[in-house]
Amino acid sequence: MKLLIADDDEQIRSGIEQGIDWTSLGIQEVMTASNGLEALRLFHERLPEIVLTDVRMPGIDGIELLKRIKEIRSETRVIILSGYSDFEYMKKAIQLDAVDYEMKPIRARHLVALIQRIKEEIIRERVSEREFNKYLASYKANFADELLSGVLTDRTVVLEGLKQYFGLEVADSVVCLIVELDGNWTIDADATRAAMDTLDRLFQSSELAQRGICLRAKEGTMVFVIQTKTNSYLFYSHFANELAGLIRAWNLEAHSLCRSSFSAGISGPGSAADLGRLYREAGLALAKRLYAGNSAAHIYDATSSVEDKAIVGLLDNPAFLAQLSRGELAEAAASVSLAFDRLKQERAYARKSVSAYACSLLQMLKVTARHLPADLIEQIQKRIAFIESQERWLLIDEFKACVVSLFEESASRLSKGLSPHMARADAFIRQNYTRELTVETLAAHVGKTPNYFSHLFKREFGIAFKDYINRLRIEKAKELILGTNELIYEISEQVGFSDYSYFTQVFKKIEGCSPTALRRQPADTVNLSNQ
């Protein structure tokens, strides 16, 4: 939309033009005129939807300008400004269909609210009620996004927007609170929705609802703006700790109601117009979850900052490279374990840095370690893909488990001392476990009789052939249950079980819980060492 400002007082004219972030209100073009004739000419040329005009100007006055504008384009909204409480002027303005008659000096926040209301009236006339409601919802969401991203910083626009769209009258400083569900909440949409509804009910029933709002709620995350009453650091420190305690109480209730947990980040205090910075602070506080674990509230301080840069660590360590090249994988696994323990203690790196480091270590294992079987190389590649896809939700101990477990499995596989026949059988099983495999098939593959093959297999693997395959299939099923949102019965077929009931029976026997129960467990209770 376009706005025309007409006033012979340059200070007032430029103050209105430059003192408000009109773009944030959806006004793409603002024109100014120093007298009525210039304003009329600009109106003819640009046809603005909204005109803000003084009453007394050279050339033609505001009332005459209003009359001529209505003759040219009747739907244009005209606001009359006056420094005089003149009843005759008001009467004429009303007769000529002015939308408002405002006395000078006009307050910026009042003007913002007025322009916003007029703009919405214009849009409502142009579209259906359904489209208008969609526009309002979209504008409200966009307002929140621009506020949190730091794009929107005009204090007047921010305060009026918070009041108009969220019902929050901000008089003092605020803090930003980010609450995010723990674990991969994208897997089960119904469970995520239930958890988000529970969080919303907990907030609405708390005293925080009287002094704050939920500014955004989507994708397993809720962002709250809470008034703190004062910028005093001592008061803020007390308030932040109270807030953290309340969030811990919410967590206990949420876990009992919907088996979900969440973590939170609390920013420092600041103005609503500086919410972009507060949002970043709350995000940095929440990032502490990577090292501290789930189900906690974290308060922003100077130690909240982490470095988003590459971790070198073992990647250029000559001793570690020598361990890999010599096949000393058990020792290499111990080195990796210690490296992650140091990262946890230092708490210096961002999540993306830790994820990239974990993937680089696995890539190094794959290309440097000698004599790794093809199926294990494939498993390493899948693990890298798993880490990359789950990066947003994994904790430092889970990154560690993902990497160390494969180093240990590689060490175990290379140190088994399997006979050539059983090594061939193991590789064949791991490459074909999703197919129907029988003793007869494997015996033929390695050139042995079925009975003798079964005897050799049990002796070298320490487990019966059928049990070995079932454990391998359940291991793969567990990876898919935790790492994807595929239906469980589809997963059972993918890993080689044609009978779903038998799959659940075997799964429960090996894992101690049903596949459905495993998926519902919070991420911090799940053992990822078999991923």
* Cα→Cα distances 85→63, 103, 437, Å: 14, 7, 94
Domain of 60? 2-126
- Among 415, 441, 472, the domain-final residue is 415
CB 264 within 8 A of CB 208: no
The residues that bridge with 224 in the sheet, in sequence order, are: 177, 214
C-alpha dihedral, 109 to 111 to 116 to 117, nearest 10°: 110
Q: Is the domain of 394 the same as that of 435?
A: no
The residues that bridge with 178 in the sheet, in sequence order, are: 223, 265
Gap between the Cα atoms of 20 and 155, Å rounded? 9
Closest CA to 41 of 55, 49, 31, 50: 31
CB 223 within 8 A of CB 213: no
pLDDT of the residue at 256: 87
Structure tokens, 466 = 């059928």
- Report the length, in residues, of the chain: 531
In a domain, residue 502? The reply is yes
Structure tokens, 404 = 């160390």
Q: Is the domain of 46 the same as that of 180?
A: no
Q: Is the domain of 78 the same as that of 194?
A: no
Confidence (pTM)? 0.72
Structure tokens, 336 = 């990796």
- Here the CATH number for the domain that contains residue 238 is 3.30.70.270
First to last CA, the chain: 55
* Residue found under tokens 């790196």: 349
Gap between the Cα atoms of 379 and 90, Å rounded? 80
Structure tokens, 59 = 């050339």
Gap between the Cα atoms of 526 and 520, Å rounded? 10
Total number of domains in the chain:
4
* Residue found under tokens 């004429």: 92
- Among 355, 384, 415, the domain-final residue is 415
Residues 6 or more apart in contact with residue 356 via CB below 8 angstroms:
310, 311
- From the number of C-beta atoms within 10 Å of its C-beta (0-12, 13-18, 19+), residue 447 rates as exposed
Structure tokens, 339 = 């490296």
Q: Is the domain of 260 the same as that of 179?
A: yes
In a domain, residue 285? The reply is yes
Q: Is the domain of 388 the same as that of 291?
A: no
Instruction: Enumerate the H helices of 447-521 as residue ranges.
Output: 450-461, 465-483, 488-494, 500-511, 515-520
pLDDT of the residue at 423: 80
Q: Is the dihedral angle over the CA atoms 341, 346, 347, 350 positive or is it negative?
A: negative
- Here the CATH number for the domain that contains residue 512 is 1.10.10.60
In a domain, residue 273? The reply is yes
Gap between the Cα atoms of 124 and 350, Å rounded? 46
Q: Is the domain of 331 the same as that of 281?
A: no
C-alpha dihedral, 422 to 427 to 432 to 436, nearest 10°: 10
CB 445 within 8 A of CB 421: no
Q: Is the domain of 408 the same as that of 517?
A: no
Q: Is the domain of 234 the same as that of 368?
A: no
What's the farthest any 2 CA atoms get from each other in the chain? 112
CB 47 within 8 A of CB 73: yes
Q: Is the domain of 215 the same as that of 85?
A: no
Q: Is the domain of 122 the same as that of 87?
A: yes
Q: Is the domain of 300 the same as that of 164?
A: yes
Structure tokens, 118 = 């007029």
In a domain, residue 149? The reply is no
- From the number of C-beta atoms within 10 Å of its C-beta (0-12, 13-18, 19+), residue 307 rates as exposed
DSSP 106: P
Helix (H) or strand (E) holding 14: helix 10-18
Quick one: how far is CA 369 from the chain centroid? 37
pLDDT tens-digit profile, the chain (531 residues)? 999 999 999 999 999 999 899 998 889 999 999 999 999 999 999 999 999 999 888 989 888 999 999 999 999 999 988 876 666 777 887 788 888 888 888 888 889 999 999 999 999 888 898 999 998 899 999 999 999 999 988 989 999 999 989 999 887 789 999 999 998 888 888 889 999 999 999 999 998 999 999 999 988 999 999 998 766 777 888 999 999 999 999 999 988 888 889 999 999 999 998 999 999 999 999 999 999 999 999 999 987 888 889 999 999 999 999 888 888 898 999 999 999 999 999 999 999 999 999 999 999 999 888 777 777 888 899 999 999 999 999 999 999 999 999 999 888 877 766 777 888 888 889 889 899 999 999 999 999 999 999 999 988 887 899 999 999 999 889 889 888 888 999 999 999 998 999 999 999 998 888 998 888 775 444 444 444
pLDDT of the residue at 86: 66
Q: Is the domain of 343 the same as that of 281?
A: no
Structure tokens, 128 = 């259906």
